[in-house]
């Protein structure tokens, strides 16, 4: 009698699970046809189990129809396997063709079912405590063989999918094969009576596990929420098994230790009582846990929803200030009192605050002045601090990536701008030459004025080509004094006092052409300001400091605008003198950078204006040409 009750209970559980699983899959399937087919498989298993229950309760006609509909189960499974495997880049045309003809498989399965019902392909035998159990007769061989064949085709499709897929899809197929082996073990006991083996179908007592494991193996990588439910279900199952083992041990040893009353209770009743107690404990556990947390940590109300909200709000912060402000607002709202968050600040002010710092191991948070708050509030601070530190690390990575992307775009923009400038400079040369030739027959004053403006335009074009073009350096030993003499001879230094204060033997490794361009730009820039002064004076001094050559170009012209910062001075078109191109100092800066040198403006050396050049005496690139630094 006990086995009969256990069998009926197992079939009931499988039936209910099949209906619930089918409804759940249809709810979650939306546009996923494979899950709809799997829902059909679960529904057919539920109907198949209802057929057993109908026979148990003397509804033989209904039970026979439902049990002889057995071929529809593997048909739904074959449909599911075709849709599940034939997805993504591994999609095969011939599988798509087979899937398009699946309605004919359903029609064939339906015909087999109707044939089986028409010829009465099933009978019953008194197997379980005299209650009827389904068996196939000789006419049911077609039904059974067709069911096995369709089941083999479905698993053959899975084998093909396992070979052509990878990742989670391949893991799901592997899980389905493991579950299929389990299902084969359970189904084997169902057909034993059909072959005259009158053995109680013990494996069918575990039939509910087959359907649940099959669905879990399919959807665990597609619907992540099911993993949380599976974790709880597995925990409950393990606890039940532990209780059953403990009760079995107590039943065996209760007599020798004097617990005669316990010995007289049937073991199945002890199991049943224990399982009821376990289910009640599992049902009230959430309320008991919340009560104990509020008792031990008064004032702390933390749950997954609050933590998820904190994480979502903090994740929206795009700057350190926004993250700090948002964190303080969330804490103040939760604790109902102001809390300060201090980022990488060593001082510890009065009042409740959370210090968030970074060390070699990463970001960490620590509350201060929290002795007078409740344990619940302290727990809240610890949890929030850990979450906030995690968000600090995420924001730091995000800002670093954004800065790297900004620099990349700036560099790309400069490259494009340089290419555009070079192209424009080349194109301007042609109309300038035409204007120069057209002015040949103009009056002398007009021609002189045109030539002056053309010279100015040509100088601007030349500077644009130098600034935007490639800068390749050819290093060689350069004697500084002869180089400066050549530069001064090419410039108009009339009415300006020129003074040179440098030794004859000063020498460095540099590109002489580029270095000459530096001195031409700096000296010509100084001449433009002092040429119109009655006492205009320029002094060039140079000396060696350690491994550097220091050259200073002084002039007594007007001081520079103090609003122009040091770094801005060497940018294009920032300090543009009358008649200049606005690129002279920018070109100087670019050439000095290419030589690994430095250029700076000084006004603390007794002169109104001084430009100081520092160049290494031994270049890093002396042995060859430097790469393009443009």
DSSP secondary structure string for all residues of 424-469: HHHHHHHHHHHHHHHGGGS-HHHHHHHHHHHHHHHHHHHHHHHHHS
What is the band of 438 on the pLDDT scale with cuts at 50, 70, 90?
Answer: confident
Cα–Cα dist 280/519, whole Å = 92
The confidence band for 611, taking pLDDT boundaries of 50, 70 and 90, is very high
Is the confidence at residue 577, as pLDDT, over 70? no
Residues 260-277: what's their mean pLDDT? 69
Q: What is the per-residue pLDDT for 197?
A: 66
Please choose, from the candidates 602, 514, 593, the residue with its C-alpha nearest in 3D space to the C-alpha of residue 559: 602
pLDDT, tens digit (0-9, with 9 covering 90-100), for 194-239 = 666 666 666 666 777 776 677 666 666 555 455 555 566 666 667 7
Q: Tell me the chain's radius of gyration from C-alpha atoms.
A: 45
Instruction: Please write the tens of the pLDDT for every residue from 105-120.
Output: 999 999 999 999 999 8
* pLDDT category of residue 372 using cuts at 50, 70 and 90: low
Give me 560's structure tokens: 């520079």
Could you read off the pLDDT of 252-261 as tens digits, one per residue? 666 666 666 6
For residues 205 and 10, is the Cβ–Cβ distance under 8 A? yes
Q: What is the dihedral of CA 511, 513, 514, 518, to 10 degrees?
A: 120
What is the band of 622 on the pLDDT scale with cuts at 50, 70, 90? Answer: very low
Cβ contacts of residue 533 below 8 Å, gap of 6+?
Answer: 556, 557
How many Cβ atoms from other residues are within 10 Å of residue 299's Cβ? 16
Least confident of 66-75, 299-308, 472-481: 299-308
User: Please, what sign has the CA dihedral across residues 69, 71, 74, 77?
Assistant: negative
- What DSSP state is assigned to residue 529? H
72: nearest Cα among 38, 110, 114, 124: 110
How many percent of the chain have pLDDT more than 70? 74
**Sequence-distant (≥ 6) Cβ neighbours of residue 316 within 8 angstroms:** 326
Query: What percent of the chain is modeled with pLDDT above 90?
Result: 12
Tokens 């050439």 belong to residue: 591
Compute the Cα dihedral for 248, 251, 256, 257 and give only its sign: positive
Work out the widest C-alpha separation in the chain, in whole angstroms.
136
Lowest mean pLDDT among 182-186, 308-312, 473-477, 582-586: 182-186
User: What angle do helix axes 72-85 and 141-164 make, rounded to 10 degrees?
Assistant: 10
pTM assigned to the model: 0.44
28-82: pLDDT as tens digits? 766 677 778 888 888 888 898 888 888 888 888 888 899 899 899 889 988 888 8
Of residues 189 and 70, more confidently modeled: 70
Does the pLDDT of residue 180 top 80, yes or no? no
| Beta strands 353-359; 340-343: pairing state | parallel
Residue 380's alpha-carbon distances to 188, 342, 348, 560, in angstroms, are: 56, 17, 20, 59
Q: Range(s) for CATH 1.20.1070.10 in the chain?
A: 2-223
pLDDT-based confidence at 626, cuts 50/70/90? Answer: very low
Q: Is the per-residue pLDDT at 344 higher than 70?
A: yes
Q: Which residues of the chain form CATH 3.30.565.10? A: 473-616
Structure tokens at 293: 């947390």
CATH 1.20.1070.10 given to domain 2-223: yes
3-state secondary structure of 604: coil
Does the pLDDT value for residue 476 go beyond 50?
yes
Predicted local distance difference test score (pLDDT) of residue 14: 81
The CATH architecture one would assign to domain 473-616 is 2-Layer Sandwich (3.30)
């Amino acid at each position: 009698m006990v086995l009969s009750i256990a069998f009926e209970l197992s079939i009931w559980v499988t039936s209910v699970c099949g209906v619930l699983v089918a409804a759940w899959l249809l709810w979650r399937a939306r546009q996923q046809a494979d899950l709809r087919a799997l829902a059909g498989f679960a529904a057919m298993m539920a109907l198949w189990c209802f057929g057993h229950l109908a026979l148990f309760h003397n509804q033989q006609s209904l039970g026979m129809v439902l049990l002889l509909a057995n071929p529809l189960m593997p048909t739904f499974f074959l449909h599911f396997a075709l849709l599940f495997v034939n997805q993504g880049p591994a999609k095969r045309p011939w599988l798509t063709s087979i899937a398009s003809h699946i309605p004919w498989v359903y029609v064939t399965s339906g015909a087999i079912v109707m044939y089986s019902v028409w010829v009465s392909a099933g009978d019953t035998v008194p197997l379980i405590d005299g209650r009827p159990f389904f068996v196939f007769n000789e006419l049911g061989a077609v039904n059974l063989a067709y069911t096995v064949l369709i089941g083999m085709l479905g698993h053959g499709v899975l084998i093909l999918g396992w070979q052509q897929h990878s990742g989670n899809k391949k893991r799901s197929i592997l899980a389905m094969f493991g579950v299929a082996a389990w299902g084969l073990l359970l189904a084997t006991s169902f057909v034993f009576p059909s072959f005259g083996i009158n053995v109680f179908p013990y494996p069918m007592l575990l039939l509910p596990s087959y359907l649940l494991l099959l669905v879990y193996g399919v959807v665990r990588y597609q619907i992540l929420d099911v993993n949380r439910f599976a974790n709880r279900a597995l925990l409950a199952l393990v606890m039940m098994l532990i209780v059953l083992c403990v009760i079995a041990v107590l039943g065996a040893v209760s007599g020798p230790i004097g617990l005669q009353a316990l010995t007289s209770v049937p073991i199945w009743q002890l199991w049943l009582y224990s399982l009821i107690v376990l289910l009640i404990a599992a049902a009230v556990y959430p309320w008991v846990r919340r009560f104990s947390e509020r008792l031990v940590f008064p004032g702390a109300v933390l749950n997954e929803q609050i933590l998820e909200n904190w994480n979502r709000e903090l994740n929206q912060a795009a700057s350190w200030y926004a993250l700090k402000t948002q964190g303080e607002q969330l804490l103040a709202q939760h604790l109902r009192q102001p809390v300060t968050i201090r980022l990488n600040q060593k001082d510890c002010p009065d009042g409740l605050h959370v210090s968030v710092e970074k060390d070699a191991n990463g970001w960490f948070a620590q509350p201060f002045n929290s002795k007078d708050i409740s344990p619940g509030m302290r727990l809240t601070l610890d949890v929030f601090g850990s979450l906030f530190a995690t968000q600090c690390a995420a924001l730091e990575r995000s800002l670093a990536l954004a800065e790297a992307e900004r620099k990349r775009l700036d560099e790309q923009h400069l490259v494009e701008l340089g290419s555009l400038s070079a192209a424009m400079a080349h194109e301007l040369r042609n109309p300038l030459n035409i204007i120069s030739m057209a002015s040949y027959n103009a009056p002398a004053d007009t021609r002189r004025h045109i030539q002056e403006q053309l010279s100015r335009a040509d100088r601007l074009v030349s500077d644009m080509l130098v600034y935007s073009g490639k800068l390749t350096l050819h290093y060689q030993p350069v004697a500084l004094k002869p180089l400066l003499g050549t530069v001064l001879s090419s410039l108009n230094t009339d009415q300006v006092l020129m003074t040179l204060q440098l030794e004859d033997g000063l020498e460095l490794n540099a590109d002489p052409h580029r270095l000459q361009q530096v001195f031409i730009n700096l000296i010509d820039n100084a001449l433009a300001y002092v040429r119109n002064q009655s006492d205009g004076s320029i002094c060039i001094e140079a000396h060696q400091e350690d491994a550097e050559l220091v050259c200073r170009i002084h002039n007594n012209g007007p001081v520079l605008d103090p609003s122009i910062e040091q770094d801005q001075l060497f940018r294009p078109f920032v300090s543009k003198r009358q008649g200049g191109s606005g690129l002279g100092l920018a070109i100087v800066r670019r050439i000095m950078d290419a030589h690994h040198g430095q250029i700076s403006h000084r006004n603390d050396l007794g002169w109104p204006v001084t430009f100081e050049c520092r160049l290494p005496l031994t270049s890093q690139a002396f042995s060859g040409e430097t790469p393009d630094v443009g």
